[in-house]
Structure 1
Amino acid sequence: PNIGNSDEKFLPVLTYDQLNLIDWTAVLGQSSTIMVMALMSIIILLLDTSGVEIIIDKDLDPNRELKAAGLANIVNGFGSGILCIQAAGGTAFTHKLGGTRFVMVLAYGAMVAGVIFVGPSPIAYVPTLMLGGLLMYVGIGFLMSWVWNARKKLPLKDFAVVCGILLVVAVYGLLEGVAVGVILAILLFVHSYSQLSVIKTSMTGSEHVSNIDRNQKDTKYLDQHGDEMHIFVLQGFLFFGTASRLLEDIRELLDNPERSAIRYLILDFHRVDAMDTSAAISFAKLLQVCTKSGIKLILTGCSPEIIDRLKNLPQEPTSPKPEFFDGLDEGVAWSGDNILLDFAGNTENNNPTNLLYQLLGNKKASSVISSRFEKLSIPAGESLFRQGDPGDALYLILEGSISIVLDLPDGQILHLRTMRTGAILGEMALYTGAVRSASALVNEDCQLFRLDQNSYQILNKKNPIEAGYLHTFIVRLMSERLGRANREIMALSR
């Protein structure tokens, strides 16, 4: 049937009888193609919307544009029309002619409606030269703005993508050009992103110590052998490109003859957003490299999804598996404990005089000061002191371990440090008299020696020389802690 007075069937409208003639099975067989066209149309619409924003120098609402396109296609479908979306070319054409008011929209719509209901015959009265000239004007303007002028602004790879899209559009069509453009953009993104390093921080065990306080000899030994442990803090998204780059960086580190022999390689994942299956191949290769080099691979801060992928790495059944820990400090502490197994000086001694002699370096001072200590036994699960309690004593751990935690305003508990045999805690309270800034919770049955404020004052009055050794040790202890903190800050700032 025809609409209007034209003899041409410009707008064929399907009748109910004609709908019965449609092979709906064939239409259903093309459902995948229809979905692809719909998806490509959405992509084209979003790209056109961005282009229109640049042309008219105004922000547009993508949701509004999508709703308008959807409504137009629903109405168009009832009229047997083809797929339609907003046209950036038409908008650019109207804008270049100075049509910035709503009246131009009405005029444009009236012309389209006239063609639909009257037919295309009136178009024959418009000079072909004028239409061709207008199209050439707009087309050449686009080529000059987005191709010729862009050659100086875009990187060579991006400019090559633009030229490739233009060539495909000219030869095959708009949809094909958009599809090729999306594919090229994805490939370019993958290549560019794979060149970025996912290593946020690289440091040795000497630069990042765990949150465990040990006795002085163990701490000194770990400082001297910290290069046997190397830590990589990872970030971003791990896929085959970035994982391969990570493997190359690790191999370069291991092949460096100037580096000390690495025994423990720690990869921290707490800043990693996600990891796909393709990255697992690179980690399987990394595990092989570590096994051949006698290096223990330690993975910390992994999400459950990443743990599932890394636990199922393809490897020989007899090959050593990586160790998993919830946090970086736990992995560093475990590595430090294993390094200390080679150290004969880490034997425990619950004699306070011997422990103080290791700390102070003077037998007489150690004997005098130890006589001022009070011995305590505290079972696991109890608290040595709570945050906000008066700071009235110093403690020396003879056996067991204690966690220093911070009670946050929201009720959460933040773990700060773990103190082990030979460590001293609460020392600042003897100098400042301030309340406890954190709580001390006993992890396992502890044997401690306590030096309270009163005994400390008596020590200063009656044995000032011996007390001086204690003051010197406290100053040295604080300086060493500050030095380790500075080294870690320097490592994190690289």
Structure 2
Amino acid sequence: AIASPPGSTDVMASTIYEQFGASSRWMPLITSGVCVVMAIFGSAIIPWMPKLLVGATVFLFAYQLFYEWMYENVRGFQPIDFAIVLIILATVVFVGFMAGIVVGILLALLLFVLRYSMISAVQGQYTLANFRSSVERAQSSNDVLDEFGGQGLVYALRGFLFFGTANAILDTIRDDAKIRTSNHKIVLLDLKRVTGIDISALNTFVQIRALCEASGVKLIYSGVGRDAKRSLLMMEAVSTEYDEPLLFSDADYAVEYMENLLLANFAPEAEASNIHEHLMRIFDKDAKKVQTLIDHMTRKEVLVSDILFEQGEPDDGFYMLEKGSMTALIGTENNGFKRVKKFAPGSLLGELSAYTAEGIRTATVIADEDSVLYHLSSESQAKLDTVDFELAASIHELVARTLASRIAYMNRRLFLEMK
């Protein structure tokens, strides 16, 4: 830098010196010398300087500052930002410099709050008619959720929640969803993308719970951080069941709970079917096909926490779940597991590996409770391919429909997440 000690930089001074063409190595010595002389003899020198020169110098600096901050640097400002700059200038001129700084900070904070509160805290608003969990259910249960899924609401929230944004959430639930007059059963607030919650937002959540419970609606949360969880419990802003707060680590588990609640209300018998009834619905009540397939399947019982098969094992056929529930897990990088699918009665398990080039299991499946399955081995399926072409074609069609429905589910969730 020009006129700076070694190892130091002074961009402003360097720019000024370069504009004046003074880039000699003598500049730092001359500058330092002037500063030393003025520090020692300045009080004696200044009275001899013409007042016009001193005034012109002050005016020059004032004009340069005014030009930069009132014209050059604010040409891209919005009108409200330019108005704040004018208010700061007027405060500095008529009150004082420190008062101008304080007024500028307060106005900037006020403008930030106003602008941030205009950003909706509700990133997405869904119903269970189009927003489902990863639980794979029988078609009869899916039909019930298609019909009554509108009674379960999901709100995905985002950003920092304070009085300016939390009230909009309350207004959305109260006015848009019409909680007081509608037939909704349960509301989920997903806080996965929420960065923080202040006390005013917590009070708003208390109001939301009171509004929901006064209308017979449960309020549950998902994706709640440790600090937010403690605050919600302290403020009693969440519904409870058997004295346990309805807080879920992930939205998928919360939506599963909502689905189970609706199914228990509207179709308690929807999943209470045996293997014969499941297959009759799949094969359009073709009893001959169903019986032939059952004759080639083997009944298998598993206890809670038993592993049906593990990720990486070779394929040995697929299963149909008659009773109970199973969960599919995949390994993660930190030697943990993540749930990718849960299976309810009537679901197919393990059908994908037979159609991959490697022919290995793509996930680990474990029993959530004592369960009953029917297993069609690879050998039995190969035998059907040669004995009963029509039934074999129906089995392949069943697998294709299952895979297509899973792809459709993932596409739908991805589309909703991107909205």
Q: TM-score range by the shorter chain?
A: 0.7 to 0.9
Corresponding position of 1:313: 235
* 1:286 aligned onto 2:208: yes
Alpha-carbon separation, structure 2, partners of 1:485 and 1:493: 12
* Alpha-carbon distance change, 317 to 303 in structure 1, aligned in 2, over 3 angstroms: closer
* 1:427 aligned onto 2:344: no
Mapped contact 1:236–1:273 kept (Cα < 8 A):
yes
Shift of 1:243: 1.0
Alpha-carbon separation, structure 1, partners of 2:24 and 2:365: 72
Task: Report the secondary structure of 1:232's partner residue.
Answer: strand
Structure 2 counterpart of 1:276, from 198, 217, 231: 198
Alpha-carbon separation, structure 1, partners of 2:316 and 2:237: 56
* 1:444 aligned onto 2:366: no
Alpha-carbon separation, structure 1, partners of 2:328 and 2:409: 18
Structure 2 counterpart of 1:237, from 160, 168, 186: 160
Shift of 1:321: 9.4
Corresponding position of 1:33: none
- Could you list the runs of 5+ residues in structure 1 that have no partner in the other structure? 1-55, 57-63, 66-85
Q: How does 1:456-467 map to 2 (within 5 A)?
A: 456-467=381-392
Shift of 1:239: 1.1
Mapped contact 2:238–2:245 kept (Cα < 8 A):
no
Corresponding position of 1:118: 41
Larger radius of gyration: 1
Alpha-carbon separation, structure 1, partners of 2:268 and 2:371: 23
* 1:365 aligned onto 2:310: no
Identify the range of structure 1 (191-200 vs 261-270) with the bigger mean alpha-carbon deviation: 261-270
* Alpha-carbon distance change, 180 to 413 in structure 1, aligned in 2, over 3 angstroms: same
% of aligned pairs identical? 25
* Alpha-carbon distance change, 418 to 317 in structure 1, aligned in 2, over 3 angstroms: closer
- Could you list the runs of 5+ residues in structure 2 that have no partner in the other structure? 2-7
Task: Report the secondary structure of 2:320's partner residue.
Answer: strand
Task: Report the secondary structure of 1:414's partner residue.
Answer: strand
Identify the range of structure 1 (210-219 vs 305-314) with the bigger mean alpha-carbon deviation: 305-314
* Alpha-carbon distance change, 490 to 409 in structure 1, aligned in 2, over 3 angstroms: closer
- Tell me the TM-score normalized by structure 1: 0.75
Corresponding position of 1:389: 313
- Tell me the TM-score normalized by structure 2: 0.87
The amino acid across from 2:254 in the alignment is G
* 1:481 aligned onto 2:406: yes
Identify the range of structure 1 (187-196 vs 322-331) with the bigger mean alpha-carbon deviation: 322-331
* Alpha-carbon distance change, 270 to 387 in structure 1, aligned in 2, over 3 angstroms: same
Alpha-carbon separation, structure 2, partners of 1:316 and 1:336: 19
Task: Report the secondary structure of 2:311's partner residue.
Answer: coil
Alpha-carbon separation, structure 2, partners of 1:331 and 1:150: 51
Corresponding position of 1:182: 105
The amino acid across from 2:197 in the alignment is M
Structure 1 counterpart of 2:135, from 189, 198, 212: 212
Shift of 1:419: 1.3
* 1:263 aligned onto 2:185: yes
Shift of 1:152: 3.9
Corresponding position of 1:254: 177
* Alpha-carbon distance change, 446 to 388 in structure 1, aligned in 2, over 3 angstroms: same
Task: Report the secondary structure of 1:481's partner residue.
Answer: helix
* Alpha-carbon distance change, 110 to 219 in structure 1, aligned in 2, over 3 angstroms: same
Alpha-carbon separation, structure 1, partners of 2:322 and 2:244: 35
* Alpha-carbon distance change, 165 to 96 in structure 1, aligned in 2, over 3 angstroms: farther
The amino acid across from 1:466 in the alignment is L
* CA root-mean-square deviation: 3.2
Mapped contact 1:369–1:467 kept (Cα < 8 A):
no
* Alpha-carbon distance change, 488 to 216 in structure 1, aligned in 2, over 3 angstroms: same
Task: Report the secondary structure of 2:202's partner residue.
Answer: helix
Corresponding position of 1:324: 247
Shift of 1:388: 1.1
Alpha-carbon separation, structure 2, partners of 1:248 and 1:100: 65
Shift of 1:369: 0.4
The amino acid across from 1:332 in the alignment is V
Q: How many residues align?
A: 409
The amino acid across from 1:439 in the alignment is T
* Alpha-carbon distance change, 459 to 413 in structure 1, aligned in 2, over 3 angstroms: same
Mapped contact 1:218–1:345 kept (Cα < 8 A):
no
Shift of 1:101: 7.2
Alpha-carbon separation, structure 1, partners of 2:260 and 2:203: 30
The amino acid across from 2:78 in the alignment is P
